[in-house]
Structure 1
């Protein structure tokens, strides 16, 4: 074979082999975790804890990008529109499955457009009643609310929080106006001033900022919270089967190559099993979890069905 022809064949083979080799190496550039919520909250902090350890596991920078707005729709939509190549991940909350209920339309199907990776953590919620209301337990609160229609208002920051409030009221058999606020600080200020009498927040927030002006009558999750262990759950107080908390978890775009999904999943399993990661989650008031993809998928489908049913029963109007 003439030298020039041999040289040309070698160049052609190299051109074919090099891209294939590059494709086999994943990841070979920085990975982005999109958080569809603003900075500073527990979900943002959880994502940043995960990002640091995931970077160590994958030997590539992992950066967190906050894309808030529209009850998570803006950030989730951004991930849906990203290439399904494994370089854009979604760290979101259970609110992803409330988004289709609280918004008139969303540019994604949460169950179809995203593949579950792992549950990251759970945050309990606590029902808090202002000290001006003469109650000291969930039962006495429910009795008072039934006996005094129109005297109590429930503060909400909107979206999935409003759905949680409606679900709680449906469970315990009460009905009161839900006042929507644009921010958590605004709702808290009005609660502390006694302008609204009932609210739901994280136990760590209650303990640090509210305990002097309100009393916790129940936590909403399956178990008691380590920050306020003396407060019983809703289920413990006679409303069996009620088990609602806010979870945060990682998803990836559907259509991502299976080998890349597997690599991210394996790395995240190691991340969530790491003792230091779990300690850091506890420090921010989040109970560390971790799960299989199938477990997160089952949880996702259950939540999607629950919020749809709650909205239908309450007559909730999408924004």
Structure 2
């Protein structure tokens, strides 16, 4: 296998900053959710903040996941769509810096506007996102690299693609190629809103089932129409061979195909929860594709997630990822 994880998803540049509750109220921003917005709406919010280059971070849910897996030592590929503008160049450079392969280059990126995500973090560490997808809203089958999928152990898709007909088609095509070539299929629900408002579309993507599913407790209950975690995780067995349900400060529960494994959390001072689920998935997938058990991979994912929520931004630095790995391996 050339790649541990082949990811497909949105390519976004995150603009990460701190706000207070009053800012969200004054600008009519719904707290705690990812909301898709038009460019002029996003620009108005940017205009209300003193944005600087230090606030720019590579983003996009699946991108965060494959970058995390790569930083821990995995080999990863990412299919995405950015334009040849300043933000697109920033994003491609960020992938290269983190040793993630992609077929896009600064010379082949098309004209357009690269997607941006405003990540607003309140003092309680909750993140609120307003996203203008830009050119990534046109992500389609054309961005899929069939040969790279065939050379991967897993294909991993983010749920944020589900609302887009062309994005959903790309997810389904990627999964079809994967299954035809013995490549395992992994999926993240990504956000409660993706399950709540696009459940029919999500069910289409899940189809008869996936090999590995990532979700949080709320998403699990929404998808399975259940009222508690115990019922939800039993219901998920019908649609996923294996899965991980993150539980915030209560850690996570993992189903390895036979038994449930409780993963403890690490006590930290959380200041920004943005990217916690993405980090969990990336660290976990690195673990299971590099000789670690599901319990070991879960412990690595929990520790890595605790590190990412204790700082601003959805990612760790490569040196931080190495420290996490060294800590667990002793």
The TM-score normalised by the length of structure 1 is 0.30
Greater RCO structure (CA 8 Å; 6+ sep):
1
The higher radius of gyration belongs to 1
Alignment TM-score, normalising by the size of structure 2:
0.29
